[in-house]
Structure 1
């Protein structure tokens, strides 16, 4: 049996492990910290008496790669599933983008024409664009940012603001001015045209560590895979018939193949074979995500989550007895104090009738630096494939060349591609 070592226990590494197990290989996964999950980790906060996610994440019905990692029983046990597209918004007043359960894909058109912020003609323009994207007859998106491309395709400012911007911020964690139109077109196809459930929102029933990560860890170890925690790889050496992976504690592990499932910038922390060609000078541009967990006795929000328009706040999630507020593309908040951040967020929650009072019983602010790479028009040149020039060394991570933005789905796909590369001819 081929011995494969996976370095990195985020979603990409866990996905690679699951797919290797399906091929009959029992991998060794090395995670440098005390728990797996990468950016999808959770921690216990005594002030909330609950586990908080490092950053709030959602899944969608089009996340085929992610969902394929779980059995149907595990999906139903760990996630809240919806039967159709349903997103609540607030712009001072409430409105909903909601598709009927039946008659896909006609139900998507019905959702657009019932969406209050859009006029009939705007809904028609959006529908025509979606159909042109599906048929590959829209204007060429390559080399353009999304806002330029949308305007070339008949989308006015109101459409961009109320329909496309929330999609881009949520899926790509960047602005319409920065986002690559080519990646955006792929997202439109995935969300709206990959089956009747592809546009549905899937929420974890509890924290991500329990719902997502621990379920995958249990699957891997129960099927013969091994996960070693607090095991930081510092060097990979070539040797006869494979490689040796040297850990920080001095331990040396032999492997026939190695999957590097770490963030691109983390590759600099591992001494790699000299003949492995990876341009470590040209890195991707990164974007921050700000998450603010809030506990209050006067939570008015009844929806499970809601998007806000005309607000610095993008999304608010209702998690049992506390709220999780998310601001994507949040670089401008990185140097602000907690009180400065709260002075921006709390008035927004009051204005949108999400909180009834500015008095909080607890809060926790998490600034996730380098949360995702920016999927701009230059990023595709810097994303690397799973295969490297060195036989036996492979790459995984949402930053690799998956064609998707930096999402859980992108990470899961990268893990599968790396596992398949292990078995590819000549490798």
Structure 2
């Protein structure tokens, strides 16, 4: 008898059995993440009790919601004395929360500007799109300004021409001297904007009028105001922060000292102080009769404030790079600007993505501080709505709605930063 004929030798393989139910799916995830130790189990049970208590407390209030009413008294009558949420105030005043006192028949203009914002951001945020679309991203600020504020289209067009003049002067003199090229570009563009833009706009408007109804800045409010200030501050604070970070690490004592003084001064002063400066004190330093738009002043101050914090975030990324990266750039024969543009800054920015996005989120939420200088942001509009006799007594519904909208924007930025980190990840850990 051979070994293979022995009764104790298996002749066929046993079919694979399914894993126990406790070792698959939800049960496995719960055991590994919620009940993987006594401390985790206690925290899970306490959390479940807190969530259950919250649902039992808030559930009846949400379940007795009223959506159709024209005043808080109608809401209370529909609730029959029981506690409940009066969401009718959102339905009645949502346009005011989003647009402020913007003329109702012109709502289509900020809506189009907001839709075009995504088209302008797409080629910047996603590399799969054609790079030639970046031209629309460059032109978008002028288009958005014209749509929201109105006036003549020639005004933003001539403003862009100032940038072209400055770039032309810089490109023509850059090979001679970088400092001279930069000074010539700034002086040339500023001279064009101050001396030529106004008269030429009037002349071109008389010859070929391309105008939209003008909307005053005092009528712009709500989430429209927060988005304008937030997007403008985010777009301009990043390049300003990069320049300040490079200036703080510069080997030239004057540039380094100026950058350090600026960053430390801005970081030591509250944002609300700078906003009051923009609102009240700045006019004292301007020539008599100068009309400097308040929203523009706020955007400038917010940009200067955020740029200082952005500089420190980027400086941390620069400090995290090994010295070998700088030596490699020098070995390739690259000058200072090419080395930072092609090798140093891309890596430093990748390292700094979490801090950069965190600063962006904080900047967007800080736009609510403009209520203290008289601008009607969503929080200020909520107070104005509550002051109306029809909606006196409304409190939680307005702030919950405003918080939910801010959360949607901030959560979107957070998720994109996570996507960007995964896309740019080059290690295999």
- Please give the range of the TM-score, normalised by the shorter of the 2 chains: under 0.3
Between structures 1 and 2, the one with greater helix share:
2
**Bigger relative contact order (CA 8 A; separation at least 6):** 1
Rg bigger for which structure? 2
TM-score, normalised on structure 2?
Answer: 0.24
Q: Which has the higher strand share?
A: 1
